């Protein structure tokens, strides 16, 4: 049996390292396929060719959630100690939505904060990012009215117009598809291109390069706040200030330009994803096409004098894609129910041999 020495040598020879995998849902694995990605790049190329956007007029907007309970980072602890704890602000925090947008030129629209409450307070804006706007909703998530407010904030910051159009790339969330938002974009020269469902983890620049380091920096600021304030709990009134410190460190020109480049949006590169990127979807699709069907055979004793109950044998696995499928009449598979004094009723069909199982019934 191979030991640890062999495993370490194998990893060094083939340049293999231990990695923590990114949690990817089945919907994202299946949704990120070649057909949807090609359709997105086709729509993007058509919009760019039609409106001739400037290199700095391509934007990406997305929402993310932050909380008042920080996730503890890595710490140093004594070897052999089984339990290592770290103080957090609360057991359960309140989710606050932040809307961010960045462009291919490295510009950032001041973020929008959405708090889970019914009335807004100016204390929530304390030491927040300059130029930011603040709102509230019952759940703390964005809605159609708040997205329209953000569009007005976006148009004011970018000076978009019919003569100076802006391309806005965003996901296809229902709050982005209202008639009011469409009318505002049409009047102010904002052209929207939607990402396919369940593909934002690979096609959205903010998800690819920005939000992960932003949340890591925000967690560090929360830890420093807890230590400097003698374990004072973090409240929604402290979120804007803590977020501003993390945002100023992460919102750089290099982050924005690399995000659009790594997703193939700018410079436009429809072939940035290879067949290896769609390998998971191809495997899942093949497994779905060859899903086995389980059929049970029934062994019958057709002796009228010695009537026995059906005996079930172990299940057989029969593939759907057979070269010569057995043609079984529908009357055999699903007989018309009715009353009879003594009939032979088929109870099961063997798809391999085409034989039917029967049992005798007497009324």
If one counts every other C-beta atom within 10 angstroms of the C-beta of residue 203, the result is 24
Is the sign of the CA dihedral 63, 69, 75, 77 positive or negative?
A: negative
Cα 64 to Cα 217: distance, rounded to the nearest angstrom: 14
CA distances from 5 to 1, 11, 15, 197, 225 (A): 11, 10, 15, 45, 45
Question: What per-residue string of b and e applies to 138-173 under the rule 16 or more CB within 10 Å gives b?
Answer: eebbbbbebbbbbbebbbeebebeeeebbbbbbbeb
- Whole-angstrom distance between the N-terminal and C-terminal Cα of the chain? 65
Nearest to 128 by CA among 258, 4, 244: 244
Q: Residue 197 — φ and ψ, nearest 5°?
A: -60, 140
Answer for the pair 196, 39: CB distance below 8 angstroms, yes or no.
yes
Classify the C-alpha dihedral 158-161-165-169 as positive or negative: positive
- Residue 63: is it exposed, middle or buried by C-beta count within 10 angstroms (0-12/13-18/19+)? buried
Whole-angstrom distance, CA of residue 361 vs CA of residue 363? 7
- Among 48, 104, 34, which residue's Cα sits nearest to residue 255? 104
> What is the maximum alpha-carbon separation in the chain?
93
Cβ–Cβ < 8 Å for 98, 243: yes
pLDDT, tens digit only, all 363 positions of the chain: 889 999 999 999 998 988 877 777 777 777 788 899 999 999 999 999 999 999 899 999 999 999 888 776 677 778 877 787 766 665 567 789 999 999 999 999 999 999 999 999 999 999 999 999 999 999 999 999 999 999 999 999 999 999 999 999 999 889 998 999 999 999 999 999 999 998 999 999 999 999 999 999 999 998 888 888 776 788 899 999 999 999 999 999 999 999 999 999 999 999 999 888 887 766 766 666 655 544 444 444 444 444 444 444 444 444 444 455 556 566 665 666 655 444 444 444 444 444 444 333 333
- Report all structural domains of the chain as residue ranges with CATH numbers, in order of start: 25-68+89-281 (3.30.420.10), 293-362 (no CATH)
3-state secondary structure 59-125: EEEEEEEEECCCCCCCCCCCCCCCCCCCCCCCCCCCEEEEEEEEECCCCEEEEEEEEECCCCCHHHH
pTM: 0.71
Q: What is the pLDDT of residue 194?
A: 95
């Amino acid at each position: 049996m191979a030991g640890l020495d062999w495993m370490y040598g194998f990893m060094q020879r083939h340049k293999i390292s231990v990695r923590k995998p990114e949690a990817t849902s089945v919907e994202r694995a299946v949704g990120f396929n070649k057909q949807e990605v090609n359709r997105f790049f086709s729509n993007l190329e058509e919009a760019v060719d039609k409106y001739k956007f400037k290199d700095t007029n391509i934007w990406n907007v997305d929402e993310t959630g932050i909380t008042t309970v920080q996730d503890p980072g890595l710490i140093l602890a004594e070897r052999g100690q089984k339990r290592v704890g770290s103080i957090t602000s609360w057991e359960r925090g309140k989710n606050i939505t932040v809307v961010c947008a960045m462009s291919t030129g490295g510009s950032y629209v001041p973020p929008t904060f959405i708090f889970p409450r019914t009335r807004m307070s100016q204390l929530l804006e304390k030491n927040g990012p300059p130029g930011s706007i603040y709102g509230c909703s019952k759940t703390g998530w964005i809605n159609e009215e708040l997205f329209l407010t953000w569009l007005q904030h976006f148009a004011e910051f970018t000076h978009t117009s019919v003569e100076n159009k802006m391309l806005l790339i965003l996901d296809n969330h229902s709050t982005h598809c209202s008639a009011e938002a469409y009318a505002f974009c049409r009047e102010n020269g904002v052209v929207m291109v939607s990402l396919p469902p369940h593909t934002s983890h690979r096609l959205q620049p903010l998800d690819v390069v920005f939000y992960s380091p932003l949340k890591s920096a925000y967690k560090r600021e929360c830890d420093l706040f807890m230590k400097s304030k003698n374990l004072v709990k973090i409240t929604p009134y402290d979120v804007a200030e803590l977020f501003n410190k993390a945002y100023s460190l992460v919102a750089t020109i290099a982050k924005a330009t690399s995000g659009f480049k790594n997703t193939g949006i700018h410079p436009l590169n429809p072939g940035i994803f290879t067949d290896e990127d769609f390998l998971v979807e191809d495997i899942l699709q093949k497994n779905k096409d060859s899903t086995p069907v389980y059929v049970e055979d029934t062994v019958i004793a057709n002796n009228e004098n010695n009537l026995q109950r059906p005996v079930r044998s172990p299940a057989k696995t029969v593939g759907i894609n057979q070269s010569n499928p057995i043609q079984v009449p529908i009357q055999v598979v699903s007989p018309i129910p009715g009353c009879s004094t003594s009939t032979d009723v088929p109870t099961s069909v063997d798809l391999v041999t085409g034989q039917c199982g029967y049992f005798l019934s007497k009324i």
